[in-house]
Structure 1
Amino acid sequence: MPPSTHHLRLGSGLVLMSYISLHLFNHMLGIVSLSLAEAGLRLSIRLWQSLPGTVLLYGAFALHFALALQTIHQRRHWQLPAREWLRLWSGFSLPLLLIGHAVNTRVATSFYGFHPSYEKIIAGPISGGSQGWQIALLAPGWVHGCMGLWITVRRHVQSRRTRVALATVFVAVPLLSAAGFLRLARTIEPHETLLVAHAAEARPRAASLASWRHVLLGTYLLLIVGSFVAGRWRDARTGDATAP
């Protein structure tokens, strides 16, 4: 029996949630030390940049995104409750934020000889004055994933104590992650030579990476708008066909 759309969405979402959670927990290690965060980053790179990890992660993203486009195309009305708008916003805004990060790390690693480390990853936002933007990168994905998981398990969670514990985790993880990132930034920021060296290293590939970002962002937005327009066109044709 082939898996249902629900199971495909849940399975791909769990893979993406695992990726986001590991990144958040890795930032949290910065509360302890830069060296511990670097060790966690190396393990994360070994996992997600291996062939199985790459296929699993990008396959899950492609599947989850395709199902989201299908939902946009098939939806016939948009009178939704506020929580559903929040879930849609958080889900579709995550790639908008992560495209730049993915290009600056994964694309730069695969095609331009970049070797990621926390020093380099954090030095970039510090040099550009965008530390706050970097901290916010994973927040929409965390919100979207937690809402999706809650919709799946809420009927099994009857205890008020369990609900409070889950809500505490929902709030605490991104806050602790932000605290770890800020501590890492404070550790690196005084080392001006490191910031200058990072800027010099990044400059030769900046234009090429900017082109990657523009193409990927444009493709992403085009697919969303195209799915919406195609759905409304289908509705208009169906309405014309059924009109007396």
Structure 2
Amino acid sequence: MQLVLRRLQLTSGLVLLTYLFLHLVNHALGIWSLDLAGRGLTLAIRLWHSWPGTLLLYGAASLHFSLALHTIYGRRDWTLTPTEWVRLWAGLSLPLLLIRHAVSTRLAASLYGFEPNYERIVILLITSGTQGLQLALLAPGWLHGCLGLWLRLRHYPAVRRAKPALLAVLVGMPLLSAAGFVRMKQAVLAMHASLPAPDPKLVDHQASLDAWRHNLVALYIALVIGALVAGLLRNWLEVRMLRARDLKQVTTSPAEN
């Protein structure tokens, strides 16, 4: 069963890492032009908004998150290496990105007919003041996936030899993505004497979208904290039962002698 769970975790993680990689590449295309990044976004929407893409992406996200809760609950020892702490922190931030992305794009498109393109997305992020948050959330998810893949494959000699190239990809992709987004922001600002208002469909339904986002984030945090508290309580009860059993053995041994 542990082997099956590990394979499911690896498979779902690879799907999410692929999604993040394509997302970073799409942003990086903005270095060349807003139009090129827009065409990449169109292809990404066709992929991930299709029924197979939707089931693959959100199925992988749900499975990976469920396995993460299982790991948090089942952990007996929280003495982790610095790499494991960084990977844990980065992984817990990934659902925040997916929630924000799903609400701002997929849910807005499904419920209110919002048609995302990079000009509209950049305008929305600038006017809401969340462009820095969007970039900051991409990097930890990418870091978590890359560290998880490295921990699984580092025992292979070929992978160890490729460590410098892999490190360059790990650092380079978020930097290129950030540079592409900055370039797209500059292009959008140059196109307008004054920045236009966000898409009216988003403005009209902003309160509803904010409520969805708030509720999903609150549910996510509650599940993580619940798994952690339940696991710690289980560990405390186990230790208490073991101590009570040992004490009983000690007190009954003299009487038997």
How would you bin the TM-score normalised by the shorter chain? over 0.9
Say yes or no: does 1:8 pair with 2:5: no
Query: Secondary structure at the residue paired with 2:190?
Result: coil
Say yes or no: does 1:144 pair with 2:121: no
Give the CA deviation at 1:165: 1.1
Higher mean C-alpha displacement, 198-207 vs 36-45: 198-207
Q: Find the counterpart in structure 2 of residue 57 from structure 1.
A: 57
Aligned positions of 1:65-214 closer than 5 A: 65-158=65-158, 162-192=162-192, 195-198=195-198, 200-214=200-214
Give the CA deviation at 1:102: 2.1
Q: Find the counterpart in structure 1 of residue 34 from structure 2.
A: 34
What CA distance in whole angstroms lies between the structure 2 residues aligned with 1:241 and 1:161? 48
Scaled by the length of structure 1, the TM-score of the pair is 0.93
Higher mean C-alpha displacement, 162-171 vs 47-56: 162-171
Give the CA deviation at 1:237: 2.2
What CA distance in whole angstroms lies between the structure 2 residues aligned with 1:27 and 1:33? 10
Structure 1 residues 122-172: Cα deviation after superposition (integer angstroms, max 9, x where no partner): 111111233222222210111001101111111113576521111111111
Q: Are the counterparts in 1 of residues 28 and 179 from structure 2 also a CA contact under 8 Å? A: yes
Q: Are the counterparts in 1 of residues 103 and 212 from structure 2 also a CA contact under 8 Å? A: yes
Q: Are the counterparts in 1 of residues 12 and 63 from structure 2 also a CA contact under 8 Å? A: yes
Q: Are the counterparts in 1 of residues 103 and 209 from structure 2 also a CA contact under 8 Å? A: yes
Alpha carbons of 1:79 and 1:164: their partners in 2 closer, same or farther (altered >3 Å)? Answer: same
Higher mean C-alpha displacement, 163-172 vs 83-92: 163-172
What CA distance in whole angstroms lies between the structure 2 residues aligned with 1:34 and 1:194? 18
Give the CA deviation at 1:239: 2.2
Alpha carbons of 1:57 and 1:97: their partners in 2 closer, same or farther (altered >3 Å)? Answer: closer
Which structure has the greater CA radius of gyration?
A: 2
Measured on the aligned residues, the alpha-carbon RMSD in Å equals: 1.9
What CA distance in whole angstroms lies between the structure 1 residues aligned with 2:194 and 2:76? 53
What CA distance in whole angstroms lies between the structure 1 residues aligned with 2:81 and 2:156? 23
What CA distance in whole angstroms lies between the structure 2 residues aligned with 1:195 and 1:209? 22
Gapped regions of structure 1 (runs ≥ 5): none
Percent identity at matched positions?
52
The one-letter amino acid of 1:153's match is L
What CA distance in whole angstroms lies between the structure 2 residues aligned with 1:17 and 1:117? 23
Query: Secondary structure at the residue paired with 1:88?
Result: helix
Q: Are the counterparts in 2 of residues 25 and 173 from structure 1 also a CA contact under 8 Å? A: yes
Alpha carbons of 1:44 and 1:171: their partners in 2 closer, same or farther (altered >3 Å)? Answer: same
What CA distance in whole angstroms lies between the structure 1 residues aligned with 2:83 and 2:43? 35
What CA distance in whole angstroms lies between the structure 2 residues aligned with 1:228 and 1:81? 19
Query: Secondary structure at the residue paired with 1:80?
Result: coil
Query: Secondary structure at the residue paired with 1:198?
Result: coil
The one-letter amino acid of 2:241's match is A
Give the CA deviation at 1:228: 0.8
